Amino acid sequence: MNDRMKLPVAAAQEYVPVAREVTQAKLDRRAAASALIKPRDLYTIADRLEEQAHRYAERPLLIYGEQRFSYAEVDARANQVAHAALARGLKAGDVCALALENRPEFFFAWFGLVKLGVVVALINTQISGRPLVHALETTGASAVLVGEECLANFVASEGLPAVPLWLVPDEEKPADRALHEHADCRFAMEVAQAPRLAVSRDLRAGLTAETPTLLIFTSGTTGLPKAARYSHMRWMSSGDVMVVTLDVTPDDVFYCCLPLYHGAAATSVTSTALKGGAAIVVRRRFSVREFWNDVRNNGITVCQYIGEICRYLLNLPADQRDREHSLRAMLGAGLTPESWQRWVERFGAVQIFEGWGSTESNANLVNVDNRIGSCGRVPYWEKTNFRLVRFDVESESHPRDANGFYLLCQPGEVGEALGRIISHPDIGGGRFEGYTSAEATEKKILRDVFETGDSYWSSGDLLRYDEDGYFYFVDRIGDTFRWKSENVSTLEVADALADYPGLELINIYGVQVPGQEGRAGMAAVLMQEGREFDPAGFYALTEQRLPRYAAPVFVRVSPAADLTSTFKLRKVDLQRQGYDPDAFADPLYVRDDGAGTYRPYSAEALAAIGLPPFGEAHG
């Protein structure tokens, strides 16, 4: 288990008990808000955008550097995209992929396609090659709106489906002119010349709130990412719920610095701001140096985070202005108890809404009580479809009772989080909308869990809870680990590097690093007889095949494969040993992006990439 996630009570801040009734009253407000939109309502994201554009016409919706786009202007720009895409034949039910970095054009394109009833597939802007081919094949996209900043990824990828690429220019990151011949550059001109008036609502007539509107990729425990379906209802309900959770008003300003191709930024932040009539400050990517400048210059009041963002900001030198800011609330996941405590001590009483859930989940938790370290609370089990069941990590199975049913966890026990699947035509909550792959959808469903005929969504997450009903995230089941805010599939990394010259076997796993959220990737490699490991060559292959967040941070060169009796590569022991050079005699290397190679393990090599020696992790 992950020791840093044990039940915490921060020593520097005495815990003030919150009555279960008080917490439940807050959760009841959320539940009421989540039920405002019914599955069969003839109401879509486009309808909400147009309503809010009328209501808050001149108020700012998007802020990007010095640019300001009002609600009415965003709606008008979206109309232009809708007219241009319609003229090219896109219609309700079609899928159009979107590959753009965080910038206003992302929103114009997204909302414009929604006005036609087109399903939008959000593409990771960092991928190329096989993962990109997989993304387009999985979604069945009819076209791709590709930002100029991402065009090189598409051009470099062999085997892409014959899908037209409609270029969205990017003045900040223009592509090499030679690449333009691979995309249709006329689309941007067609958008600019298109009418700013709304397309006919008849184009999406009959679309209900339960209709899928987004395809968002989420990594499972094995293989390439899966495309999760996201309905209009679920997207809008997310905003309805968070508006009452955060008490959002039109005076709030949200900060969007996480990638929009991820579920969190594209769903929670955008849907909440839109519902509340608030503004969104959009940044291409998170910047430690500019974070507080952005907050102060724009009056940002709400920020979405991942644990690493907070850790990076806490590593900044202390500043006399640390408490001079407008930030009042933060929502996200992955904030360690230690970082949480340090955050409020240094930056003031910002309310932290740490949560648990996922893009495809049908159950979630959120900490509405500011309980340090907790990702949420269940005051009364009868009020939720969430359950925690016992899980045996060694056998990777669920223990059963005498009747063959699953066993509920007691306080302190680690178990897997599940969500009861509710399939009712008039109830949106508890639905599992699944993936584009029926097989992948079925694999996430557990049946006959507590009684014959029931069904539950299997999260693959391990949690525990205390006597007061507060929950704490422990770890992921299986082979996916999280690093640099990204889910990394060990199988995908291993597949990408499997043809490294001279390689016999490769085993990819995540290892704990002190002070870091998630796990750092580590590769245990076995070379063929007579072949030697080439650090520079291995680095070059990772650069060619993988996004940097997925590239192994450590490489261990083993003289023999460590296999179980069933010939399954043993990861538990390797993970336990981590990058401790005293635990094994194998040569160990550390990734050095500055030098473009893997350097032999040393304290200096670790320090160069900002990581501590293994001994400090466990001292």
Residue 2 pLDDT = 33
Confidence tier at 296 by pLDDT (50, 70, 90): very high
- Domain span(s) for CATH 3.40.50.12780 in the chain: 47-58+70-234
- Domain span(s) for CATH 3.30.300.30 in the chain: 480-617
Report, as an integer, the average pLDDT of 31-35.
97
The answer to whether the Cα torsion of 344, 347, 352, 354 is positive or negative is negative
Classify domain 357-476 by CATH number: 2.30.38.10
- How far apart CA 373 and CA 6 sit, in angstroms, is 9
Q: How many CB atoms lie within 10 A of CB 596?
A: 12
pLDDT digits (tens, 9 = 90+) for 527-539: 888 899 999 999 9
The pTM assigned to this predicted structure is 0.81
Residue 483 DSSP one-character state: E
pLDDT digits (tens, 9 = 90+) for 403-436: 999 999 999 998 999 999 999 999 999 999 999 9
- Domain span(s) for CATH 2.30.38.10 in the chain: 357-476
Angle at 272 between CA 263 and CA 123, to 5 degrees: 25
Q: How many CB atoms lie within 10 A of CB 293?
A: 10
Classify domain 480-617 by CATH number: 3.30.300.30
Percentage of the chain beyond pLDDT 70 is: 93
Question: Does residue 489 carry a pLDDT above 80?
Answer: no
469 Rama class: left (phi>0) / alpha (psi -120 to 50) / beta: left
pLDDT digits (tens, 9 = 90+) for 555-571: 999 887 554 433 345 66
pLDDT digits (tens, 9 = 90+) for 345-384: 999 989 999 999 999 999 999 999 999 999 999 999 999 9
Residue 183 pLDDT = 96
Report, as an integer, the average pLDDT of 61-68.
98
CB burial string 422-456: b at 16+ within 10 A, e below: eeeeeebbbbbbbbbeeebbeebebeebbeeeebb
Q: How many CB atoms lie within 10 A of CB 501?
A: 11
Task: Please state which CATH class domain 47-58+70-234 belongs to.
Answer: alpha beta
Beta pairing class for 351-356 and 597-600: unpaired
443 Rama class: left (phi>0) / alpha (psi -120 to 50) / beta: alpha
List all residues 6 or more positions away from 162 whose beta carbon is below 8 Å from its beta carbon.
none
Question: Residue 274 corresponds to which tokens in the numbers above?
Answer: 């839109």
DSSP three-state, residue 458: strand
